[in-house]
Chains A and B, each alone.
Chain A
Amino acid sequence: MMGRVTLRNLAAHKIRLVLTAVAVILGVAFVAGTLIFTDTMNGRFDQLFDKIGKDVAVQVRGTALGEGTDDQGEKERGPVPAALLAKVAAVPGVKNATGNVTGYAALVGRDGKIVGDEGQGAPQLGINYTPGALTAIVSGRAPAAGGEIAIGDAMAKKTGYQAGDRARVVTTSGVQPVTIVGVMDSGDMMGATTVAFDTATAQRLMLKPGYFTDITARSTGVPEDVLRARVARVLPAGTEAITGTAMRAESKDAIASFMGFFRALLLSFALVSIFVGAFIIFNTFSMLVAQRTRELALLRAIGAARAQVTRAVLGEALAVGVVGSTLGIAAGAGLAALLQGLIGSGGGLTVTATPIWVSYLVGVLVTVVSAYFPARRAAKIPPVAAMRDDVALPQRSLRVRVAAGALLTLAGAALIALGLGGDGGNPAAIVGAGAFGVFLGVTLLAPVISVPVVKVLGWPFTKLFGATGRLARQNALRNPRRTAATAAALMIGLALVTAVDVLGSSMRASVGAQIDQQFGADYTVSGTGGGGVSPADAKRVAAVPGVRNTVPVYVGKALFGTAKGNSSYIAGDVAALARAARLDMISGSARAGADGVLLDKKTAEKRGVAVGGTLTAAFADHSTVPLRVSGIYEKSDFLGGIIAPAKVYLAHADKPVVDTLVIDAGGATKAKTAALKNAVKDNPALKVQDKQAVKDQVNGQVDQFVNFLTILLVMSIVIAAVGVVNTLALSVTERTREIGLLRAIGISRLQLRRMIRVESIVIAVFGALLGMGIGVAFGAALQNALADDGLDVLAIPGGTLAIYLAIAAAIGVLAALWPAWRAGRMDVLKAISTE
Chain B
Amino acid sequence: MPHKIKKFLAWLFSGKSEKASHILILPASFWLAFFLVVPIMLLLVLSLAQLGPYGTIIWHPTLENFRRVFTPLYVPIVARTVAYCGATAVLCLLLGYPTAYFLSFYAGEWRDTFLILLMIPFWTSALVSIYSWIIILGRDGLMNSVLVGSGALGKPLDVLNTPFSVILGLVYFYLPFMILPLYSSLEKIPKQYIEASYDLGAGAFQTFLKVTLPLSLPGVFAGFILTFVPCLGDFLTAEFLGGPRTYLIGNLIENQFLMAQDWPFGAALTAVLLCAMLIGLYYYQKLEAAELAA
Chains A and B are bound partners: no
